[in-house]
Amino acid sequence: MARAAVLGRLTWQVGTVAVVREETATARTIVLDVPGWSGHTAGQHVDVRLTAQDGYSTQRSYSIASAPAPGRLELTVQRLEDGEVSPYLTDVLKPGFPLELRGPIGGWFAWDPAAAGPVLLVAGGSGVVPLMSMIRARAAAGSHAPFRLVYSVRSPDTALYPAELAQRGHAGEGVEVSWVYTRSAPAGARVRVGRLNPVVLAAPGWTPEAAPAVFICGPTGFVEAAASLLVRAGHDPGVIKTERFGPSGGQA
Amino acid sequence: MGIVSPGFKGRGGAGREKLPPGQYLVTDFPVLSAGPTPRVDTGSWELRIRTETGEVHSWDWAAFRALPSEEITVDLHCVTKWSKLHTPWRGVSLDTLLAEAETSAEYALARSYGGYTTNLPLQDLLDGQAWVAYEFDGEPLESEHGGPARLLVPHLYLWKSAKWVQGIDLLDNDEPGFWESLGYHNYGDPWREQRYWGD
């Protein structure tokens, strides 16, 4: 197992917001210029620190959405209704604002483009963010590793990156994208509304025999359900890596 | 202290002063783990303590549950920033489990069903600082929180409290565990904010 460990000391750095991009009604991508940032491994996250005028300070972790690149990174942040940090990042932060961060963090839930084997990505809601970094890293590196993303969302309007996923999911690109809609499907689409199920996960070429590396990210309930389905289908628990988005674990 | 974030006020409120640096309070119980949740049947469950000389002490579920247990209420601090206060557990003290072990080891490596490991100094397991817990809030510990039994070492970040604990090796030399090999701090004191290597 390749281990992309964090090396050396992680110091706080100050990035500057270059661009913000609204992704959905409640999620936004923040593009940061971070001088001295040396890139990351797809799947890793950063710690973000906010400090108030009175000295009160708090931190949260956010997955990196972009492909690895020096000096620049993108975070996609989902606003939590009762959140302390995410509403600041989605509603207050503007281009030109400073943002303190340190990273990249996490050597386990990470995909290295040097790995040629098939990769099965399973996302629930905003859990798609670190998986999107893997899809983008694959393209940026010119990798031909077969990829499949199974992406579960409540409804089409809550989906992150739908246009880009449609483009990257074109036949011949090597990335299959399958959508699961748990509450409502796009108008006119011939898809059944419902939760992630064994049939969706067991597409041709993506059975346990193909031994894909599996990355699952989403709320706890979703991750538990997806991991259980895959283990029951015969995938080796040892190749299934999970990352849970918190703090609370509703079903995506 | 970091640079001021323009327009950030923070939520404030109760609990803010009692938390280690960089932590925030939650009232639910988040789940963090690196892979699928192992389903461990108490019928085949076993806890093994192995000393540096190879001496093994083991308990099956019935023998383990027959040991004297303690009710404890502790605060939990996860490296992913959440803290949960006043959590009620029941478990067997490591002082009880290690009472018969003859050892001069200085380190311990906890091993879990599913392959997870975490290391800590043996002295951090002693003197009423650590338990193998099997009940949370009066109920059997759920598998996603580490049931049937997990290590509980609340004075360190929660990744040291190995879920699904299967054994503890007592070692003369320190051996980094799973997260400790992947960039997380070797000791993990939340009050000194020892999250990552070099902190």
| Domains of chain B: residue spans and CATH | 20-27+46-192 (3.90.420.10)
Task: Sort out which chain A residues have CB atoms less than 8 A from B16's CB and list them.
Answer: 56
At B29 the pLDDT is: 84
**Domain covering A119-245 assigned CATH 3.40.50.80 in the classification:** yes
- Distance linking the first and last C-alpha atoms of chain A: 30
Asked if A61 reaches chain B (Cβ–Cβ under 8 Å), the answer is yes
pLDDT tops 70 at residue B13: no
B residues 45-84 near A, CB within 8 Å?
A: 80-82
| Non-local CB neighbours of B48 within 8 Å, separated by 6+ positions | B56, B57, B58, B166, B167, B168
**Alpha carbon A218 to its chain's center:** 8
Q: pLDDT of B47-59, one tens digit each?
A: 999 999 999 999 9
Token reading at A143: 């990798």
Structure pTM? Answer: 0.92
For a pLDDT cut of 90, what percent of chain B falls above it?
Answer: 86
- CB-CB under 8 Å, A50 with B10: yes
Query: Rounded mean pLDDT of B176-180?
Result: 96
Q: Which fold has domain A13-105?
A: Elongation Factor Tu (Ef-tu); domain 3 (2.40.30)
Q: pLDDT of B52-87, one tens digit each?
A: 999 999 999 999 999 999 999 999 999 999 999 999
At A63 the pLDDT is: 95
Of all residues in chain B, the one with the smallest CA distance to A248 is B30
Query: Rounded mean pLDDT of B140-166?
Result: 97
At B17 the pLDDT is: 60
- CB-CB under 8 Å, A241 with B35: yes
The ipTM estimated for the assembled molecules is: 0.88
Asked if B13 reaches chain A (Cβ–Cβ under 8 Å), the answer is no
Which whole-number Å values give the CA distances from B76 to A122, B82, B160, B184, B191, in the listed order?
Answer: 29, 8, 11, 17, 12
Tell me the sheet residues that pair with A147: A119, A175
**Where are the domains positioned within chain A?**
13-105, 119-245
- CB-CB under 8 Å, B12 with A97: no
Look-up of token digits 């290391």: B119
Asked if A58 reaches chain B (Cβ–Cβ under 8 Å), the answer is yes
**Alpha carbon A57 to its chain's center:** 26
Exposure on the CB side of residue A112, measured as CA atoms within 13 A: 10
Helix (H) or strand (E) holding A148: strand A147-153
What are the residue ranges in chain A where pLDDT is below 70? 1-8, 246-252
- CB-CB under 8 Å, A244 with B33: yes
Q: Which of B3, B4, B8 should be substituted to probe chain A, the one whose Cβ sees the most A Cβ atoms within 10 Å?
A: B8
At B38 the pLDDT is: 94
